[in-house]
Structure 1
């Protein structure tokens, strides 16, 4: 990576990891009772499950687009959301959380890789760069983590300060 991009990479990694002004994923999901994962507060369209699974799908899609020229994105918008309000089986939440963490780590590894030119257009894209895709992941995650905290507050399942 060019020297002038090293500092940019560090800032992106902090942003992706949820430091400073952003709540991180681990804090947002910590201590959420299993029985509330499929609960929807009155007046809101999402449950914790729908938000976590949506974040996982969108992040996976952005990562795959960034690294795989043969990747085909899900149909928009329906393909980016789970069908049901609650996890389809008892282990679905854990699988989604592990996959989210894994793909976030892969995106961070891509950004941290000295061989990644953050500003070069992705060859199979339409002008997108790794910088743009990493910012998109960070922005999308921050938005939905904020929603998750709101849902948890309304369900009476949030004790944090965010």
Structure 2
């Protein structure tokens, strides 16, 4: 008989990294340069840079809870979005991508090495699996927006193709 915690952990890892349902997050971001990250068009409400900044904000928040912290919930959702619309340079942009991917790896470690139905220390009504699922869903939602923006700018597919592997 299979351990349900292990099976669900493996499922969460697939959702966090991206598979079948969407392109792996690393491949979708791998070739975006800082100019494309800050490019704007028409009525789009945000840039790829702003989306990734927002994803990082919430990823840090989710991981904080998993690490036993109690992150402060912003007073408004707008606090999780940056005012600037583009990174200052390629180095800043690349660090952001690295941080996002590192955070995904960290979440995957939690998914595989923790009791997923345990409640969080600082949020006892939420199990660890709930935080990981929320992080995966949030990243997936905004990754789809990044893919759409790339398509609008003719910057799709990435190297290796745009179909999930």
Do they superpose with TM above 0.5?
yes
Equivalence map 1:1-162=2 (5 Å)? 3-113=3-113, 116-159=114-157, 160-161=161-162
Distance (whole Å) between structure 1 residues aligned to residue 99 and residue 75 of structure 2: 20
Partner SS state of residue 52, structure 2: helix
Q: Which runs of 5+ in 1 are unaligned?
A: none
Contact 2:12 2:111 in 1 (8 A): yes
Partner SS state of residue 84, structure 2: coil
Distance (whole Å) between structure 1 residues aligned to residue 139 and residue 98 of structure 2: 15
User: Aligned residues, how many?
Assistant: 159
Segments of 4+ in structure 1 off by > 6 A?
A: none
Distance (whole Å) between structure 2 residues aligned to residue 79 and residue 91 of structure 1: 24
Partner SS state of residue 91, structure 1: helix
Give the root-mean-square deviation of aligned CA atoms.
1.9
Q: Which runs of 5+ in 2 are unaligned?
A: none
Contact 1:23 1:142 in 2 (8 A): no
Q: Please list the CA deviations of residues 30-84 of structure 1 after superposition, one character each: whole Å capped at 9, or x if unmatched.
A: 3224322111221211111111111111111111122123433444313311221
Partner SS state of residue 86, structure 1: coil
How many Å apart are 1:11 and its aligned residue? 1.0
